[in-house]
A and B are shown apart, each in its own frame.
Chain A
Amino acid sequence: GQNIDQPTEMTATEGAIVQINCTYQTSGFNGLFWYQQHAGEAPTFLSYNVLDGLEEKGRFSSFLSRSKGYSYLLLKELQMKDSASYLCAVTDSNYQLIWGAGTKLIIKP
């Protein structure tokens, strides 16, 4: 079956760095997405990885290792507004998005 795992909840301090991990087992792989979702709102796109390595975009970076079925989202210089759920999603061989359950990130002052 298809499966995506990520931690349910994480807590971090304002100004610090946090890494949210995602492991996946899917039928085929055509890319991995990270989305941010604030409560009561639709998800917003953060990053897309299809090749191994690190993609940096401002305070957010995303890493992918296809051989290990592993990705992480790295958030630096955390701000209170970063409190949200972070969703990992993998595009399978049929270009269908398989979603993780999301990681709720709580930022404390």
Chain B
Amino acid sequence: GAVVSQHPSWVICKSGTSVKIECRSLDFQATTMFWYRQFPKQSLMLMATSNEGSKATYEQGVEKDKFLINHASLTLSTLTVTSAHPEDSSFYICSARDEQGGDYEQYFGPGTRLTVT
């Protein structure tokens, strides 16, 4: 199956700093990528839909100025958490949609665990 990578796997940062997370589709091109956040013992929450070459679409309640998304190529989307605070500590997961297949399946990256101290 298709492979999606995320970097870093985990990161610890100080409150007030910014953190960038990369999501790459390794063996297919993805016009559309998705960023999810998951708090412990809760389900996935879609944060935003990242579209190559255009602005991301954010879900209600997600601050676009705090969570900056850039999808500059068909294989790379980045999420930057700006001025991070402890409440931003979470598991961030990206997925990339394979639109060449008929089922539009989303392939998930392994996730990035962010801890803000």
Chain A residues packing against B (C-beta within 8 Å) = 30-31, 33, 40-45, 48, 50, 85, 87, 91, 95-97, 99-102
Contact B110 A41 (CB under 8 A): yes
Contact B104 A42 (CB under 8 A): no
28 of the cross-chain contacts (CB-CB < 8 Å) are A30-B104, A31-B104, A33-B105, A40-B91, A40-B113, A41-B111, A42-B93, A42-B109, A42-B110, A42-B111, A43-B44, A43-B93, A44-B108, A45-B1, A45-B105, A45-B107, A48-B103, A48-B105, A50-B103, A85-B43, A91-B104, A95-B97, A95-B104, A96-B49, A97-B106, A99-B43, A99-B44, A100-B43
What mask results when residues 92 to 107 of chain B are scored 1 for a CB within 8 Å of chain A, else 0?
0100010100011111
What mask results when residues 1 to 28 of chain B are scored 1 for a CB within 8 Å of chain A, else 0?
1000000000000000000000000000
Contact-size category for B: 20 to 34
Contacts A40-B91, A41-B110; A87 near B44 (Cβ below 8 A): yes
| Majority secondary structure of chain A interface residues (helix, strand, loop or mixed) | loop
Q: For chain B, residues 38 to 69, give those with C-beta under 8 angstroms from any C-beta of chain A.
A: 43-44, 46, 49
Rounded to whole angstroms, the CA-CA distance of A97 and B106 in the bound complex is 8
Q: For chain B, residues 72 to 117, give those with C-beta under 8 angstroms from any C-beta of chain A.
A: 91, 93, 97, 99, 103-111, 113
Beyond the given A45-B105, A45-B107, could you list 12 further A-B residue pairs with CB under 8 A, ordered by the A residue number?
Answer: A33-B105, A41-B110, A42-B93, A42-B110, A42-B111, A44-B108, A95-B99, A96-B49, A97-B34, A99-B44, A99-B46, A102-B43
